[in-house]
Amino acid sequence: MSREISPHPRFRLYTTADHYRLPLSALLRKPGGGEETAKFESAVCRHLRVEHAVCVPSARIGIYLSVRALVPPGRKVVLSPLTIADVVNMVIAAGAIPVFADVRRNGYHIDPEEVERLAGPDTGAVLITHLFGETAGACRLREICRAREVPLIEDAAQAFGASEIGRPLGTWGDVGVFSFGLFKHLTTWRGGMLIAPSGASLDAIRKEVRLMPLLGRWRLLALLGFGFATGFATRPSVFWRLVYPVFRWAFLHKIGLINRLVDPEAGARRLDSIPRPYLGRMTEAQTRLGLMGLERVDDENEIRRSNAERYRAGLSGLEGLILPADNPSASPAFPYFPVQCPNRDQLLRWAFERRRDWPTHGLRNCADLPAFRSFHRDCPNARQASESLILLPTYPRYPLAEIERNIKVIREFFGSSAMLSRASFTSIPLSEFADTPSVPDHPRARSDPISEPASPLPALRRYR
């Protein structure tokens, strides 16, 4: 009698055989003239009901180009601290000053009241992140920005196909930024896109992107190799026999060397300029993959939303477990179903002991990171979220039986003695930043935005 495969991995790549065939066959031909890229941009415009789009090397570079186009040097950009470090780095490299606005209490999206309080005459833009494919409150934040005549930039890297009151996320602001990186639900291995209601804001960006080199063949081959290895390691029949036992042992015994392999934000550092490996515009083969992915992205979003609702129904009513806000006017993408638990480590240990595989989000509260010490603001809600978030798998191939097992394990934990000593959601301000000036002199001029990194992170980790 065969043994049931469990657990299934926390994620699976959204790649197909074409994701290998098209780029490999393209390596044998001369680069195209941009026709496929133009088709992909037009298709995204139709899909999202927007007028203008341009492919960019990555969402990170898209944020950098957007800030540089919309924000005068030395002006402030208000943004959430609960994001990847490179979002902050892109603001700095573009010549602007990041100003951290805390997230909502018991939430993980930027607090509109904080934005209203912090946006002033020296604010050049507001940058919002639709984290976990959910709206950050785009409608209200758009009104705030319009009232102050400040541009709104939407980081919709995780939210392609999501919407608020029927309007796609990414189309509420002056510029929307999408990611097509390896781990995204619409993947072209690497790449991104900017969309805008006005062509004027994208014309200069389009010209600049055209001057960038194509993504190098060796870098693309490295991505394909990493993707193949990742896809093999997360095949359920391989994962539960060979891979999961290693990571389970490493978590339960706190083996940092192995645990850091699944922590893309470990070693986050500050960048004052753009490392050259971040550049490399999308190839024609990549944009063809994007066109093919558009055909199934809405159906896959619907499956993830259905899986998210199963979690919501099964986990509602547990005191101390915070679920995503149930917004009937929004249609999230839900790459994961995020929950917050004050004693996260205890719950994760309980889950691993019962052969569950869930990730933490990996995001830090950037306002507390030593790399951004000169921009520190006390953001207790973001600190709380960074220490309590757990991501439950929702990807389309994740079995419904695994979702039910996850729900059962969480409910058992909240009914067990492990919860008798559960922590409450409290935050203590970090005294080490008490004397830090709130608005530093900007470290650099905008004249030389691109440089080689002094000590680059591993090349593939950048594009997660």
Q: Return the axis-axis angle of helices 18-26 and 217-233, rounded to nearest 10°.
A: 160
- The pLDDT assigned to 421 comes to 52
Average pLDDT over residues 206-221: 94
- The pLDDT assigned to 417 comes to 57
Read off the DSSP letter of residue 462.
Answer: G
- The pLDDT assigned to 198 comes to 85
CA distance 274 to 63: 12
- Three-class SS of residue 126? strand
> Where are the alpha helices (H) located in 182-276, listed in sequence order?
200-210, 217-233, 236-238, 244-252, 256-259
CA distance 114 to 37: 39
Q: Is the pTM of this model over 0.85?
A: yes
- The pLDDT assigned to 433 comes to 34
Residue 296's closest CA among 193, 186, 393, 192?
186
Q: Measure Cα distances from 396 to 35, 289, 307, 333 in Å.
A: 32, 19, 8, 12
pLDDT tens digit string along 174-212?
Answer: 999 999 999 999 999 999 999 999 888 899 999 999 999
CA distance 222 to 306: 35
3-state SS string over 332-369?
CCCCEEEEECCCHHHHHHHHHHCCCCCCECCCCEHHHC
CA distance 82 to 363: 6
pLDDT tens digit string along 30-57?
Answer: 777 789 999 999 999 999 999 999 999 9
- Structural domains of the chain ordered from first start: 236-268+296-419 (3.90.1150.10)
The answer to whether the beta carbons of residues 348 and 360 sit under 8 Å apart is: yes
At residue 27 the predicted structure's pLDDT band, cuts being 50, 70 and 90, is confident
pLDDT tens digit string along 415-441?
Answer: 985 565 554 554 434 333 333 334 444
